[in-house]
A and B are shown apart, each in its own frame.
Chain A
Amino acid sequence: MFKKATTSINNKLLAGLITLFSSNMFAAWDDLNMTEGVTAISKEVFDLHMLIFWICVVIGLVVFGIMFYSMFAFTKKKNPNPATFHENTKVELAWTVVPFLILVFMAIPASNTLTKIYDDTEGDINIQVVGYQWKWQYKYLEDDIDFFSNLTTDWDEIYNKTPKGEFYLEEVDEAVVIPVGKKIRFLITANDVIHSWWMPDFAIKQDAIPGFINTAWTIVDEPGIYRGKCTELCGKNHGFMPVVVKVVPQDEYDAWVQDKKDAAFRMAELTEKDWSVAELTERGEGVYLKNCVACHQVNGQGITGIFPNLAGSDIVLNDKAGNIEILMEGVQGAAMQSFANQLSEVDMASVITYTRQAWGNAGKGDGKIVVPKDIVEYNKPKV
């Protein structure tokens, strides 16, 4: 109760400050403070933030008040003869004990909230979140749904060739979908380097660390689309791997789950289909632009010394088996990751075929293409 009251007073004080300091040019004050978020925990965290903020403001006003008073009242002109006192044990004791008590007062609610956050019991829905350079993978453990979430902001927008959209750098091809009112548990890990999964509206920030599974949970009551980001430096495109969560009513969620299962079935059918080179190349270009272009670049030439050149590469031209293996297994000790779990058989085959056809590679090497069945074959247990 007390906390709620202070919050509303805080908001009024803040509103007063806005009118004092802000002009129309700047975003509203709300955009300059921590988000309150949409969960019980995120609101508690916000209250803690405002409580400690106001404690600091009050202490600051007292200390700086005395300091500025001294600066004006005790100049050499006004006070030519300085006092000579230089110690006082009682005063020292007081300003040791009083701050200590304030800290204890602050530590109690903080410890309570922290204890609430540390609940690692199972959720109604358990989602594994895996950080990759530079995208997120989401696996719904109960429903066997599995997809990657990539930034969709166009590189032309980033390089200022086209105007920037409303959700510049905060939009993805596929958002995590969760239902309202259910306890969702996230199991967070990483495939390559350390990432960090941050959703400010849920007050969740949890590092994604290779070899570890961290947990976080939330219950969201307000449907909506919420946007967050990766917050641990994870290499070149750290700034370009947002987190988007879509919270929907239960029936909408159920329908979405069914859709995802149907799509998986259709994908299996596509794998059986007979593909032409042109079809594979066309599909492969899309896959390449989404998954490979960040390192190997649009022209396939990579970046000298870090990311290998694919145009004219011997493996791409002449070594079909080796080519498939690199994409399926990744390269130990290098930035090249395994795409076996990230791409379907169809997408895997088409992107390899695309690299064997693009940038003047066509006709230079052995001319072999890769079809989805090659990938199925690769995945069969070897005897």
Chain B
Amino acid sequence: MSAVIESHNHDDHHHGPAKGLTRWLYTTNHKDIGTLYLWFSFAMFLIGGAMAMVIRAELFQPGMQIVEPEFYNQMLTLHGLIMVFGAVMPAFVGLANWLVPMMVGAPDMALPRMNNLSFWILPFAFFVLLSSLFMEGGAPNFGWTFYAPLSTTYAPPSVTFFIFSVHIMGASSIMGSINVIVTIMNMRAPGMTLMKMPLFVWSWLITAYLLIAVMPVLAGAVTMMLMDIHFGTSFFNAAGGGDPVLFQHIFWFFGHPEVYIMILPAFGIASHIIETFSRKQLFGYASMVWAMASIAILSFVVWAHHMFTVGLPLAAELFFMWATMLIAVPTGVKVFNWVTTMFKGSITYETPMLFAIAFVVLFTIGGFSGLMLAITPADFQYHDTYFVVAHFHYVLVPGSIFSIMAAVYYWIPKWTGNMYDERLGKLHFWLSFIGVNVTFFPQHWIGLAGMPRRVPDYALQFADWNMISSVGAFLFGASQILFLFIVLKTVMGGKKATPEVWEGSRGLEWTVESPAPYHTFTTPPKVN
């Protein structure tokens, strides 16, 4: 051990953090870059959230009150794009940066300069995307799924900037994934075999492969759009012999794995937190790994369940229905494993555990509605209604985003050396929990009752629950200001954290002091 400490001092002498702005611009340190990613994603979360507030304010009552339909469509498009590519994905990359090297006992990410590049191109991508709001004709207004030909022949001129920004985001994600894979494959501490890796590391290894497989497909889709718009091709233009449905096949071949990209790391996070606060080893580690791998593989053969109404042949509809239903099996295994981990544990309810439990329950509810959506004949009724909006917000907000918040509360003592304010943390949890359910649960009902999604106005029978849903959204939105306050307060100071931080914590990151030194594991630890 003493040898390790000595080498720390030696390193710090030469490579301590620089001062000022250049520290952040030039940094190749995985902890700095992780911090940058997390703050960036939080900023995007607030911007995308503000857009959601505009949407819910317009839907507060029937009739057009606040914005015009044209601007409403821009809001819902940017809200989706920013939350998916700007908030959720960078937050997970930030967590991977902070945690993967520490969890596998590596000194840093394998490709530190590329790490810097993959972060620093992101702000430009979103600057380009957001600047389209001020262009003639307005921002992209065709939904985050940007179906052609609404996004090609009929799109505002800013679509070209949108394509450019998607390319940058894709490049950033691909570089980030390569880094994660190379780090995990090559830099694990001696003795850490694949099947001894922490589940968060496993979840990110699988996610990174998914990203590398599908981001180029997305790049292909937007490039074909670019060709259709500017260079006279007709990939998606029926009048020129093209095929608008081809766009949807390509998009969802990217899009469905993308959905799991946004949930697999959450599975890893929930496993760590439930294990820690149940003070009991995770039940079924190996089956958790296999379940994630199965979900990832299945994600490549279910894309057309987003397209049940485009007029696919019967054989295709049956295949995609069955394949989709099959995903419920490994997903169920994961939920059963979490519940069994809690069974006969010794549980306490700190903020991360509250978020993790809410994650399991509400993600499962989103899973149930997903199973309902898989039933093709019933999907003919659900498709493109608020039922779908409720479904994917249940898996994304109390799913992915709750898991990110759980992770922040769980690891922030390790990052800052300070404990967060437990009372405020719990308050933030309960406000978010109530807000999210009041917002999205009624949307199941108005969807079943026949309200289409992506409309700025609706028939009178949907009025009551839309108003309630909006009230919930305002509560949820406001609670996130509290989250910002709690995080800032923790960064500034607070009760000092021990290296273990939590009574039941397991894993290499808890063996280093809190806050984690700028360089950790310059001499690899030994794992038994």
Q: Which residue of A lies closest to B311 (CB)?
A: A214
A178 to chain B, nearest CB (A): 19
A239 touches B314 (CB 8 A): no
Q: Given A83-B280, A194-B244, do A210 and B239 touch, yes or no (CB 8 Å)?
A: yes
B448 at the interface (CB under 8 A from A): yes
Binds A, one of B36-44, B87-95, B405-413, B454-462: B454-462
Which residues of B from 311 to 340 have beta carbons under 8 Å from A? 311, 314, 317-318, 321-322, 325-326, 328-329, 332-333, 335-336, 339-340
A114 touches B377 (CB 8 A): yes
B124 at the interface (CB under 8 A from A): no
Q: Given A200-B381, A229-B452, A231-B452, do A206 and B309 touch, yes or no (CB 8 Å)?
A: yes
B385 touches A193 (CB 8 A): no
A231 touches B383 (CB 8 A): yes
B346 at the interface (CB under 8 A from A): yes
Looking at the complex, which one of B65, B73, B346, B452 makes contact with A82 (CB distance below 8 Å)? B346
A3 at the interface (CB under 8 A from B): no
Central interface residue in B65, B282, B346, by most chain A CB within 10 Å: B346
B345 touches A234 (CB 8 A): no
A299 at the interface (CB under 8 A from B): no
Looking at the complex, which one of A83, A106, A115, A228 makes contact with B314 (CB distance below 8 Å)? A115
B239 to chain A, nearest CB (A): 7
B344 at the interface (CB under 8 A from A): yes
A327 to chain B, nearest CB (A): 18
B298 to chain A, nearest CB (A): 13
Binds B, one of A42-50, A282-290, A318-326: A42-50
A8 at the interface (CB under 8 A from B): no
B17 at the interface (CB under 8 A from A): no
Please, which residues of chain A bring their CB within 8 A of the CB of B458?
169, 239
B238 at the interface (CB under 8 A from A): yes
B424 at the interface (CB under 8 A from A): no
Q: In the complex, what distance in Å separates the CA atom of A100 from the CA atom of B70? A: 46
Q: Which residue of A lies closest to B63 (CB)?
A: A160
A79 at the interface (CB under 8 A from B): yes
B384 touches A49 (CB 8 A): no
B342 at the interface (CB under 8 A from A): yes
A103 touches B326 (CB 8 A): yes
A75 touches B347 (CB 8 A): yes
A256 at the interface (CB under 8 A from B): no
A359 at the interface (CB under 8 A from B): no
Which residues of A from 95 to 110 have beta carbons under 8 Å from B? 95-96, 99-100, 103, 106-107, 110
A95 touches B336 (CB 8 A): yes
Binds B, one of A11-19, A28-36, A137-145: A28-36
B461 touches A82 (CB 8 A): no
B311 touches A212 (CB 8 A): yes
A99 touches B329 (CB 8 A): yes
What is the interface size of chain A, counting residues whose CB is below 8 A from a CB of the partner? 100
Central interface residue in A56, A118, A170, by most chain B CB within 10 Å: A56
Please, which residues of chain B bring their CB within 8 A of the CB of A70?
339, 342-345, 347
Q: In the complex, what distance in Å separates the CA atom of A215 from the CA atom of B314? A: 12
B144 to chain A, nearest CB (A): 10
Binds B, one of A266-274, A301-309, A347-355, A361-369: A301-309
Q: In the complex, what distance in Å separates the CA atom of A134 from the CA atom of B360? A: 42
Please, which residues of chain B bring their CB within 8 A of the CB of A71?
342, 347, 357
Looking at the complex, which one of A45, A76, A107, A133 makes contact with B325 (CB distance below 8 Å)? A107
Looking at the complex, which one of B141, B287, B375, B454 makes contact with A92 (CB distance below 8 Å)? B287
Q: In the complex, what distance in Å separates the CA atom of A200 from the CA atom of B449? A: 9
A298 to chain B, nearest CB (A): 14
Binds B, one of A61-69, A121-129, A245-253, A373-381: A61-69
A306 touches B156 (CB 8 A): yes
A159 touches B64 (CB 8 A): yes
Q: Which residue of B lies closest to A211 (CB)?
A: B238
Q: Given A33-B445, A158-B64, do A82 and B69 touch, yes or no (CB 8 Å)?
A: no
A302 to chain B, nearest CB (A): 12
B154 to chain A, nearest CB (A): 5
B192 to chain A, nearest CB (A): 19
Please, which residues of chain A bring their CB within 8 A of the CB of B136?
304-305
B57 to chain A, nearest CB (A): 14
B318 touches A114 (CB 8 A): yes
Q: Given A27-B461, A110-B321, A239-B452, do A210 and B149 touch, yes or no (CB 8 Å)?
A: yes
B348 touches A76 (CB 8 A): yes
Q: Given A233-B150, A236-B70, do A63 and B364 touch, yes or no (CB 8 Å)?
A: yes
Q: Which residue of B lies closest to A100 (CB)?
A: B329
Q: Given A83-B345, A107-B321, A205-B383, do A237 and B285 touch, yes or no (CB 8 Å)?
A: no
A-B contact number at CB 8 A: 290
A49 touches B154 (CB 8 A): no
B321 touches A63 (CB 8 A): no
A235 at the interface (CB under 8 A from B): yes
A221 at the interface (CB under 8 A from B): no
Q: In the complex, what distance in Å separates the CA atom of A237 from the CA atom of B286? A: 51
Q: Given A194-B147, A239-B455, do A111 and B321 touch, yes or no (CB 8 Å)?
A: yes
1/0 per residue, CB under 8 A from A, across B30-69: the answer is: 0000000000000000000000000000000011110001
A233 touches B73 (CB 8 A): yes
A63 touches B346 (CB 8 A): no
B260 at the interface (CB under 8 A from A): no
B339 touches A67 (CB 8 A): yes
A196 touches B384 (CB 8 A): yes
A262 at the interface (CB under 8 A from B): no
Q: In the complex, what distance in Å separates the CA atom of A164 from the CA atom of B143? A: 28
Looking at the complex, which one of A35, A76, A194, A239 makes contact with B150 (CB distance below 8 Å)? A194
A207 touches B311 (CB 8 A): yes
B464 touches A26 (CB 8 A): yes
Q: Given A192-B154, A239-B455, do A95 and B73 touch, yes or no (CB 8 Å)?
A: no
A206 touches B311 (CB 8 A): yes
A87 touches B150 (CB 8 A): no
A170 touches B459 (CB 8 A): yes
Please, which residues of chain A bring their CB within 8 A of the CB of B385?
231
Extra pairs beyond A113-B377, A233-B143 (4, CB < 8 Å): A59-B368, A74-B343, A86-B284, A114-B318
Nearest 5 pairs between A and B by C-beta? A211-B238, A239-B455, A305-B136, A214-B311, A32-B445
Contact sample, A vs B, 12 pairs, CB 8 Å cutoff: A67-B361, A75-B348, A83-B343, A91-B340, A95-B332, A99-B332, A111-B318, A157-B63, A168-B62, A205-B384, A206-B309, A212-B311
A interface residues (Cβ-Cβ under 8 A, vs B): 25-27, 31-35, 41, 44-45, 48-49, 52-53, 56, 59-60, 63-64, 66-67, 70-71, 74-76, 79-88, 91-92, 95-96, 99-100, 103, 106-107, 110-111, 113-115, 117-118, 133, 157-160, 164, 166-170, 192-194, 196, 198, 200, 203-207, 209-212, 214-215, 228-240, 303-306, 333, 335
B interface residues (Cβ-Cβ under 8 A, vs A): 62-65, 69-70, 73, 136-138, 141-143, 147, 149-150, 153-154, 156-157, 238-239, 242-245, 278-287, 309-311, 314, 317-318, 321-322, 325-326, 328-329, 332-333, 335-336, 339-340, 342-348, 357, 360-361, 364-365, 368, 371-372, 375-378, 380-385, 445-446, 448-450, 452-461, 464-465
